Amino acid sequence: MAVNASPMYQKAEERYRSAVSASEKVAALEEMLRLVPKHKASEKLQVQIKQKLKAARDEMQGGGKKGGGGQARHDPFHVAKQGAGQVLLLGAPNVGKSSIVGALTKAKVEIAEFPFSTHAAVPGMAHHEDVPVQLVDMPPVMEGQPQPGMMNAYRAADAVLLVVDLAAIELMDQFEQCIELLRSHQLSPVSKPELVFGDDLDDAESAALPKRTLVVANKLDTDDARDNFETMKELEQTDLAMLPISTQTGEGLDAMMAELFRLLNVVRVYAKRPGKPADKESPFILPVGSSVHDMAMLVHKDIAENLKSARVWGGDVHDGQQVHATHVLTDKNVVELHG
């Protein structure tokens, strides 16, 4: 059956195949359902995905029990993915995780001077320019110990935002414990967006799943914070990208969102109908390396099938240049599809 799924869909399918836990399966299947081309030829596939999704959700909630016997257990850390990618916050208590999500999204987070004010995953939608990026507030990890089930959520996330507190004496411990936590759960934090499973990793790490990670050091507005940041960068000797921010003054937050966008490794493109201006309201989000054909698949399968050529504006082409379906799109391209 010719379903012609996009590379993004295929990646989600790979994630589903390699999923170990029910929540990973649910995350991958939800992604597959969102990305599967919606047309006649894929109807059977859509039904199959929905069936698998139901089974995985049942498994997640009740250990696979059928019938009314088992008490349904809600997974407080599972969040359906939305936007260009899902970014889960990770950090010790009081570093400002909830403040970050509160500053950049409309989510109702609890911010408190005492620890443990966040009990479940709380998602909100932040933006890098016009690109929606999902930020998910999480409970703190204490002494490097996560709550049961939390690590599955990090495993399923597209990226991790590791938060440390520039005003805390334990600054370095906060960083090291989070890194250790990821590593001890077979997640290998990386700052290179292009790394995929099995690529380019040391032997010791090859069993681990590369996890795109950005480190942010919060409370840059406090005394000595800048010095503390420089000291941490010097002493930690990590390849991971590290940015100083303050949720209180807003400093560094734009840079943080730009870096998350880079990590997610996607492009945004705008569709345009002949003779009409580009639709700038809702960009299409595609993995870096996607073609005009991949974009057409997201618009509609019939359009992709009948695609003869396209005109592209922006980036490395002449304005309105005619291109083939195989032409690789770049960020902010405007695309006019011709059937």
Ligand X SMILES: Nc1nc2c(ncn2[C@@H]2O[C@H](COP(=O)(O)OP(=O)(O)O)[C@@H](O)[C@H]2O)c(=O)[nH]1
- Position 94 contacts Mg ion (CB under 5 A): no
What is the rounded CA–CA span in Å between residue 283 and residue 75? 32
Question: Helix, strand, coil shares of the chain as percentages rounded to 5?
Answer: 35, 20, 45
Which residue, 30 or 137, is less far from ligand X as judged by CB?
137
- Position 105 contacts Mg ion (CB under 5 A): no
In whole angstroms, how close is the CB of 118 to Mg ion at the nearest point?
A: 3
CA angle 120, 124, 128 (to 5 degrees): 140
In whole angstroms, how close is the CB of 23 to ligand X at the nearest point?
A: 22
Which of 49, 79, 84, 95 touches ligand X (CB under 6 A)? Answer: 95
Which residue, 115 or 289, is less far from ligand X as judged by CB?
115
Q: How many CA atoms lie within 13 A of 244 on its CB side?
A: 18
Q: Report whether 262 contacts 328 (CB < 8 A).
A: no
Q: Residues near 150 by Cβ (< 8 Å), separated by ≥ 6?
A: 77, 138, 139, 141
Which residue, 113 or 281, is less far from Mg ion as judged by CB?
113
For 155: left if phi > 0, alpha if psi spans -120 to 50, otherwise beta; the answer is: alpha
Which of 117, 147, 186, 322 touches ligand X (CB under 6 A)? Answer: 117
Hey, what's the torsion of the CAs at 216, 220, 222, 226, to 10 degrees? 100
Which of 98, 105, 177, 291 touches Mg ion (CB under 5 A)? Answer: 98
Using CB under 6 A as the binding rule, the residues of this chain from 137 to 176 that contact ligand X are 140
What is the rounded CA–CA span in Å between residue 214 and residue 192? 10
Which of 23, 118, 177, 265 touches ligand X (CB under 6 A)? Answer: 118
99 binding partner (options Mg ion, ligand X, none; Cβ < 5 to 8 Å by kind): ligand X
Segment interacting with ligand X, rule: CB under 6 A, options 34-42, 128-136, 153-161, 214-222: 214-222
Residues that bind ligand X (CB under 6 A): 91, 93-99, 111-113, 115, 117-118, 140, 218-219, 221-222, 246-248
